Chain A
Amino acid sequence: MSDFTISRRTVLAGSALLLASTALPTIALAQTPKKGGRLVVAADSEPRNLNPAIVASNAVFFISSKIVETLAEASFEGKDGLDPRLATGWEGAADGLSVTFKLREGVKWHDGKPFTSADVAFSALQIWKPLQNLGRTVFKDLEAVDTPDELTAVFKFARPTPFQLIRNALPALSSVVPKHIYETGKIEENPANNAPIGTGPFKFAEHKPGEYYRLEKNADYWGKDQPYLDEIIYQVLPDRASAASALEAEEIQLAAFSAVPLADLDRISKVPGLKVITKGYEGLTYQLVVEINHRRKELADLNVRQAIAHAIDKDFVVKTVFLGYAATATGPVPKNDPQFYTADVPTYAFDVAKANALLDEAGYSKGDDGKRFSLKLLPAPYFNETKQFGDYLRQALAAIGIDAQLVNNDSAAHIKAVYTDHAFDLAVGPPVFRGDPAISTTILVQSGIPDGVPFSNQGGYKNDELDALIAKASETLDPAARTELYKEFQRKVAADLPLINVAEWSFISVVRDTVGNVANNPRWAVSNWADTWLET
């Protein structure tokens, strides 16, 4: 193995020189996809349930999106930002009460049975609506799915539902699973949840707990000449340092979802044969947010919230915490969203003097020790960056006389402390923007959400005007009018600061230059990889 790799490296280095001398046309030639090969990818977790129709989360999609397909996938060029998958066309009725999907012909499940509209109806009504973490909200008014023929599924809604929302939800929420596998027994306990059966380019082969997942090529895939790869292996590497070493040792070819820590990227980008890629996550934007407990008297005061916003140097956060791999945020919709984002919102420039003045004005003057008041600050533990931003925020607050006490918890304890017990004053959270504010964004500021719901407004914030705006947008059918309402939503949130949006970031892939067609759609890491190939 080692002898082989060394000689291959030497050969590669030689051919790189040759390539350089004959310049670009040769490189273009090298882009013809090849068949075969085993792609080995780093995985940092083993989801307890691999069924993406039940658990719509990136950790699950990362593996199962290659096996189970959705009706449509996100796309850089496609109409409305979508590319057809199991559906070839979709159309919403003017009254918002129905959406008609035309389905792909000649698609077979991995067990050989034909894929039909009955599978779509079953998935939508029996899984997405009652069981799926995100579908329970988006499909709450779905009443029936008519199947006039095998290749047509008509979604019927009890109340007008914006077609724009359904369309935006397709890439993440519409995984179709086979009715004939799931119709007997309890869906949650079906063995296929851990050995998925789908229509995708790869079949689930085996899972060795703690070691790897193995997927193998689906020879009957509907995509012409696809997939290219013979096998995909997800090697479980729980230690964050090991993904980088495994790439360098050529044991794996791809580490997605920032498995290589940001601090290592500079070094790893200089290793011959490795590329650092920031594209391919545009549809998976995470937001760095300061969550605020409005039950706390000081924080219920808008002046104090504005002062905190002025105390945060967003550029510094992007440069130091994210090492440049992020963007500053202006409001609750990220800048890279093509449909809804508006820059026309109140902004808070970094200005410590102004922040201090605002606090003085609000009546919280500095005590003899230079402190105005103390706060409990809980950074979410899921990312290095949320923890590091917690450290930064503590210092930024100290500069304006607010004494923040850091409380570090693990995931389970953090979720309970913030979202159930409300035992925080400020928290640092990483909510996800999922292509439409109605999927998981408005819930961050909306009132009336029961205790214990994670990634929702648990800060006791209540703003009737904002609630009314959210309610109106959720039933506005005209896309232009709906988009306008969400722009107004962004202005209101930025003005009243129920929470403070600091930065927006996505993930980084590190990949061997032998892997082709990387990052060619906005959700690449969680798309089906039918066109991914390996130079052998």
Chain B
Amino acid sequence: MTRALLLLRRRLVGSAFVLLIVVIGTFLLLEAAPGDAVDAYIASTGGDAGMIELLRHRWGLDQSALTRLANYLWALLHLDLGQSVTFSRPIRDVILERLPNTLLLMGSATALSFGLGSALGIYAGARPGSFRDRFLSIGSLALYAVPGFWLALVLIIIFAVDLRWFPIGGIESIASGKTGLDRAADIARHLILPVSALGFIYLALYLRMMRAGMAEVWRQDFVLAARAKGLSRRRIVLAHVARNALLPLVTMLGLQSAQMLGGSVVIESVFSVPGLGRLAQEAVAARDTPLLLGIILVSAVLVIAINLLVDIAYAFLDPRVGASEAGA
């Protein structure tokens, strides 16, 4: 337990620096992009010189970039994410409204790709080189090569337009008045297609990693020993080979969380899910710097937290790793 706590403390200190760099970097990047929030706004409305000046003043864009960054960081120190220019609402509210949708989508998709991916990986890796191994390996690679938006569109055309089994998009039925379990079932029905689109693409990663790891472990001496002991094949596969090949997958889980967030931008747009990814895209288009910074911050915290959890899990799963980290 102390091992985990030590790890936690070291990570938190490091994370604060990472977050500061992320915030300043994002701010500078968006500052370097041509056009500001007022330019983005008048692109859809037009307006004369007086109106433009008035808007720049009201949105605080007549201040220098340095002043705005300093103000933002100062407010951030007080845990205030500021006010969104595009929504004219507190950024905290805007993000909190969307975060659950993204978490739900990401979490389910990760569970799908990790769960199904490693299970199929075990199935394939149980007999390396067999027909089912080749079929699964090639099949999953083909799936991995498919662009996310394309898979999403194909799923929509087949399952939403032609078969009409699932809705084409959204997070729940519009103004349906459903509550409790009914509502949960409704949301689940809406999530099936986007979760499949997002999850199936990353499934290949876990499948192939599991399979490759198992192929490696099969050659180890302890497997030979287990065989010599006369253990059943089933037991060797699950308790000895698969278990040892599972560790790298857990590392991958942490690394993939950031990728999932990125992938969800596309999936959220195609399936019109009101999540963080779509919000980020809108924030960039509208040059809504504080909103984008808020989203990036929340996403960064999310990724750091997931990786921390993975590290802690790792420390428990593999005693060797935790010991060297804590001792270093």
Chain B residues close to A by CB (< 8 Å)? 33-37, 39-52, 58, 86-88, 94, 97-98, 153, 156-157, 160-161, 163-165, 167-171, 174-175, 269-275, 278-279, 285-287
The CB with the most chain B CB atoms within 10 A, among A237, A242, A453, is that of A242
Contact B165 A2 (CB under 8 A): yes
Q: Which residue of B lies closest to A208 (CB)?
A: B274
Residues of B within 8 A of A131 (CB): 51
Q: Is A5 an interface residue (CB 8 A)?
A: yes
Contacts A6-B164, A245-B157, A417-B34 given; does A238 touch B43 at CB 8 Å: no
Identify the 3 closest CB pairs spanning chains A and B, nearest first.
Answer: A210-B274, A412-B35, A412-B40
Residues of A within 8 A of B160 (CB): 245, 249
Contacts A48-B86, A233-B175 given; does A133 touch B51 at CB 8 Å: yes
Further pairs besides A2-B163, A56-B45, A451-B49: 9, Cβ < 8 Å: A47-B44, A136-B51, A211-B272, A235-B170, A238-B278, A242-B270, A246-B168, A411-B35, A453-B48
Residues of B within 8 A of A421 (CB): 34
20 A-B pairs whose Cβ atoms sit less than 8 Å apart in the complex: A1-B164, A2-B165, A40-B174, A48-B41, A133-B46, A189-B88, A208-B274, A211-B272, A236-B272, A238-B269, A238-B272, A239-B269, A239-B270, A242-B168, A245-B160, A249-B164, A413-B34, A415-B42, A452-B52, A454-B43
Residues of B within 8 A of A387 (CB): none
Binary B-proximity of A183-218 (CB < 8 A = 1, otherwise 0): 000001100001000000000001011111010000
Residues of A within 8 A of B87 (CB): 48, 209
CA distance A440 to B46 in the complex (A): 10
Contact A209 B175 (CB under 8 A): no
Q: Is A382 an interface residue (CB 8 A)?
A: yes
Q: Which residue of A lies closest to B52 (CB)?
A: A452
Q: Is A149 an interface residue (CB 8 A)?
A: no
Count: A-B pairs, CB below 8 Å: 154
Shortest beta-carbon distance from B50 to chain A in Å? 7
Shortest beta-carbon distance from A229 to chain B in Å? 14
Contact A450 B49 (CB under 8 A): yes
Q: Which residue of B lies closest to A6 (CB)?
A: B164
Contact A237 B272 (CB under 8 A): yes
Shortest beta-carbon distance from A137 to chain B in Å? 7
Contact A414 B43 (CB under 8 A): yes
Q: Is A147 an interface residue (CB 8 A)?
A: no
Q: Which residue of B lies closest to A382 (CB)?
A: B43
Contacts A5-B164, A415-B42 given; does A211 touch B157 at CB 8 Å: no
Contact A209 B174 (CB under 8 A): no
Residues of B within 8 A of A209 (CB): 87, 94, 97-98, 274
Contact A251 B42 (CB under 8 A): no
Contact A233 B48 (CB under 8 A): no
CA distance A40 to B174 in the complex (A): 10
Q: Is A59 an interface residue (CB 8 A)?
A: yes
Shortest beta-carbon distance from B173 to chain A in Å? 9
Contacts A57-B44, A413-B35, A420-B39 given; does A211 touch B170 at CB 8 Å: yes
CA distance A83 to B285 in the complex (A): 38
Residues of A within 8 A of B36 (CB): 412, 416
Shortest beta-carbon distance from A51 to chain B in Å? 12
Q: Is A55 an interface residue (CB 8 A)?
A: yes
